[in-house]
Structure 1
C-alpha cells in the first residue's frame, strides 16, 4: 500500500494486540487484553498471532471474552510442538510488512516488544501504537529511536518512568502502571517433581553474550551444583539462549535423566513465573526475572566471571542484592551461605523490586487498559 493511501485510510474503533514474538511476551500482554475487554465490552479486540502455539494458548483463555477474536497474521506458521513450548517463529519484519495494511484499520495497536514499533517509525500509519514493557531493570535499551514512535509507553514504575524523562521523552507519553505480569492468572504452576526435599536453586542465565554467565561458567556451574548433592536445580535459561547455544538440547536431555535437576529452556512455565515462584535461591547474571523473584525477597547469588567493575555501573544495580561470585571455586560456598547471609540483602531486594516493578497487586492491567482507551479516544 502506498504511503498516501495510509494517510487517507479511516481507522475503525478497534484494538489490535500483537502476539508475534516469543511466548515470554504473553504474560506481559494478556492481562491487558482481559482488562480492556472488561472495561469496554463493545470494543472489538483482535489478537494477532504468529504461530499455532500462540493461537492454542490464547484460545484457551478467551471463552469468556466475547469481544476478543484471535486472528492469524500474514505468514502464520503451524507448528508441531508440545503445548506451551516456544516455537520457531516466522521472520517478524516480513510479517509486519504484510500485516501493516490490515493493521492500519485499527485505531490502536498494543505491543510488548520494539520490533513492532518499526511500523509507526517507518510508515505514516494512522494507527496509534501503545508499547508496554516486557523487561525491567537497569539494562533496558531505552535509547532506541523506535520508542519515540509510540503514542504511549507503559512502564511499571515511577523510577522506570524517570529514566525515559531523562532522555527527553514527553511526560504525557510515559505512564507508570505497575507490573502487568503480576496480574497474569494463567500460570502453569509447574513444580518439578524432585526425588528429595532440598533447597531449590533456579539458574537463569541471560541469552546475550555480553550480559550472560553461560559462555564462561554456565555448564561448570551446573555440574558443580549437581555434583555437590546439596540442592535441587531448576536450569531455566532465557528462551533465546537456545538460539545461540543449540547444544543446550543435548545437555538438558542428559541432565533431565536425573531426579535432582529440571531443565527447561522453552516451555511456557519458564516464562510465566512458575519457577521464580517455587525457587529458594536465585542464581544468575542480568536477567530481569530476578526482579520477579524478588517480589518475595529470597537469597540471590550472581555470577561475574569477567570481574566487571559493577559497583559504579548503574546497569548492575541488581548485584547489590546478593553475593557476587568472581571465582568459580567460590560458587558452592556462596550458595551454601546464601540463606544465612540473606538478612544483609533483604531490605535492598525489597527496595529494588519496588522501585523497578512498582505496584505488583495485579491492578496494573486496569491502568494500562485505561491508557489504551485514552489513546483510542484521543
Structure 2
C-alpha cells in the first residue's frame, strides 16, 4: 500500500527518512512551503512554516490523490470542515489527558478518531458524537521506539525527577510555585532534575529561559524546551518521579507505573468541574493549594494528599493495543472507501 508522508522542514525529512527506511512503500514528500533548516543532529525542534497557508497550498494534492489522510492535530481538520473532500480524515492524538478540547467543532469533520481508551471514547459519545467514528485503540505513541535518550542524561545514578509544568496559566504550577520548586530541588542535591516544560510555556513566561540559563550547566540538571526528547518519550521513560500539574505527559510516564507528585498551585480542590478537569491527579500524590495544606504563600511541605490510581485504571480500560490497532482501523476505513 503506498503511503505518503508530507513534511514541512528538512529536519523532519531527515528523521522520517531514517525511521521509515525498512518500509519500501513509504514516500517522503515536501509540503508546499517546505523549509530547509540548519540541523546539527542534536534533535532540536525547528521553527515551522505557518501551518494554515501550508495546508491551503497542500489542499489540491490531498483532494486529487489521497484516499485517507491521517493527522495528529486539529488544525488539519479545517480542511474537511471547510472544503468538500473525497478523502477521509483520521484524527489520532499527539498527547492525551483529561482536558482536551473535545467540543471543538473541527472534531466532527474527522471520519474516524482514534482515542487511547474506552473511557476517553465515552467522553465524546456523551457529547453526541457518532459512536462508529470513535475507536479506542490504546495509546499509539507508547509504541514509538526511536527515543533520543535511551538512558537518563546524567553521569551518576541519583534518582531522576521530571518537572513538566503546563503552559496555560490557569492550569499550571509555574507562575505561583515553579521557579522556587526548581531551585529547591537543585539546591537539595539529592536528585537529578529534568526540567522540560511545555514548549509554549516560554512564550507565556520568558523567565523560564532565564532560569534554564542559570541552572542548565549544573551536572545534576538537564533543561530542555525545544528538543525532540520532550515528545518522543525519552524523559518520561528516564525519570523515577513525575512532578507536574495538569500536563498529559503523566499518561506516558504511567505506562510504566512510578510515583507521581502533582502541584495544585491554583487550589483546584473543590467543585465537580475542577475535579473532572484534573482527573489525572487520581494517579499519585497531590500537593493541595488550600491553606490547610500549604499555608498562605508557602511552598513548604505540610501535608500531601494521596490519590486513587485513576490514570492507571484509564490506561487499563484502553488496553495496550496501540499502534497496530490504529493501523488496522485505518485499513478498514480504506477498504470501505470506494476506489477513485
TM-score (norm 1): 0.80
Aligned to 2:313: 351
After superposition, the Cα gap between the structure-2 partners of 1:57 and 1:332, relative to the gap in structure 1 and judged at 3 Å, is farther
Q: CA deviation at 1:56?
A: 1.3
After superposition, the Cα gap between the structure-2 partners of 1:256 and 1:53, relative to the gap in structure 1 and judged at 3 Å, is same
Contact 2:90 2:112 in 1 (8 A): yes
Give the alignment partner of residue 10 of structure 2, picking from 39, 52, 61. 52
Whole-angstrom distance in 2 between the partners of 1:221 and 1:170: 44
Aligned to 2:328: 370
Q: CA deviation at 1:189?
A: 2.6
Question: Does residue 147 of the first structure (1) align with residue 107 of the second (2)?
Answer: yes
Q: Compare relative contact order (CA 8 Å, sep 6+) and give the higher one, 1 or 2.
A: 1
After superposition, the Cα gap between the structure-2 partners of 1:331 and 1:55, relative to the gap in structure 1 and judged at 3 Å, is farther
Higher share in helix: 1
Gaps of 5+ in 1: 1-42
Aligned to 1:220: 180
Q: Secondary structure at the match of 1:140?
A: coil
Q: CA deviation at 1:266?
A: 1.3
Aligned to 2:167: 207
Q: Secondary structure at the match of 1:251?
A: helix
129-138 vs 190-199, greater mean Cα deviation = 190-199
Aligned to 1:252: 212
Aligned to 1:78: 36
Contact 2:282 2:309 in 1 (8 A): no
Whole-angstrom distance in 1 between the partners of 2:261 and 2:147: 25
Contact 1:86 1:239 in 2 (8 A): no
Whole-angstrom distance in 1 between the partners of 2:6 and 2:180: 41
Whole-angstrom distance in 2 between the partners of 1:310 and 1:76: 48
Contact 2:177 2:299 in 1 (8 A): no
Contact 2:283 2:312 in 1 (8 A): no
Q: CA RMSD in A?
A: 2.1
Contact 1:46 1:69 in 2 (8 A): yes
Q: CA deviation at 1:311?
A: 6.5
Count of residues in Structure 1 that have an aligned counterpart in Structure 2: 325
Contact 1:224 1:332 in 2 (8 A): no
Aligned to 2:49: 90
Question: Does residue 103 of the first structure (1) align with residue 62 of the second (2)?
Answer: yes
Gaps of 5+ in 2: none
After superposition, the Cα gap between the structure-2 partners of 1:248 and 1:52, relative to the gap in structure 1 and judged at 3 Å, is farther
Whole-angstrom distance in 2 between the partners of 1:88 and 1:257: 25
Q: CA deviation at 1:192?
A: 4.0
Aligned to 1:65: 23
Give the alignment partner of residue 300 of structure 1, picking from 244, 260, 265. 260
Whole-angstrom distance in 2 between the partners of 1:181 and 1:266: 19
Whole-angstrom distance in 1 between the partners of 2:307 and 2:266: 23
Contact 1:236 1:264 in 2 (8 A): yes
Q: CA deviation at 1:50?
A: 1.0
Whole-angstrom distance in 2 between the partners of 1:92 and 1:153: 21
Q: CA deviation at 1:377?
A: 2.5
Q: CA deviation at 1:129?
A: 0.4
Whole-angstrom distance in 2 between the partners of 1:264 and 1:191: 16
Aligned to 1:319: 281
Q: CA deviation at 1:177?
A: 0.8
TM-score (norm 2): 0.89
Contact 1:213 1:285 in 2 (8 A): yes
Give the alignment partner of residue 113 of structure 1, picking from 47, 68, 73. 73
Q: Secondary structure at the match of 2:183?
A: helix
1:168-207 map, 5 Å = 168-207=128-167
After superposition, the Cα gap between the structure-2 partners of 1:56 and 1:240, relative to the gap in structure 1 and judged at 3 Å, is farther
Whole-angstrom distance in 2 between the partners of 1:159 and 1:90: 35
